[in-house]
Amino acid sequence: DAGITQSPRHKVTETGTPVTLRCHQTENHRYMYWYRQDPGHGLRLIHYSYGVKDTDKGEVSDGYSVSRSKTEDFLLTLESATSSQTSVYFCAISESVVRSNQPQHFGDGTRLSIL
């Protein structure tokens, strides 16, 4: 298994509070991604990173921000959590862009509930 650790694995918080999820990799992969997974939907890309301090928005980035100060760590922050952000969040890494034949490797997710 690829060395990807997500923390925390579960979190329950209240509307309006800030939340930070962490993704840590030991594979030295350049590319990192944050997805959310909701019932009935495919995974949706929130933000991605193509290097240290290099990040960009995905298709559902509103209400989320990210930071990558080291190759191995990619943080996802919900500045003021809303109930619509209740979801399972997955971090992924890859050696190359998705147009290549390299797979993305995923962590085991963070289950976030916002009450």
Partner 1 sequence: KNQVEQSPQSLIILEGKNCTLQCNYTVSPFSNLRWYKQDTGRGPVSLTIMTFSENTKSNGRYTATLDADTKQSSLHITASQLSDSASYICVVSAMDSNYQLIWGAGTKLIIKP
42 sits near partner 1 (criterion: CB under 8 A): yes
Number of residues that bind partner 1 (CB under 8 A): 28
12 sits near partner 1 (criterion: CB under 8 A): no
Token pair for residue 50? 């193509």
Query: Diameter of the chain by CA atoms?
Result: 41
Cβ distance to partner 1 smaller for residue 23 or 81: 23
Q: Which of 8, 41, 51, 79 binds partner 1 (CB under 8 A)?
A: 41
Contact 33, 50 (CB under 8 A): no
Of 113, 108, 55, nearest to 85 (Cα)?
A: 113
Of 37, 27, 34, 81, nearest to 61 (Cα)?
A: 34
Instruction: Select the span of 12-20, 41-49, 61-69, 75-83 touching partner 1 (CB under 8 A).
Output: 41-49
The residues of the shown chain that bind partner 1, judged by CB under 8 A, are 4, 31, 33, 40-45, 48, 50, 56, 58-59, 90, 92, 97-99, 101-109
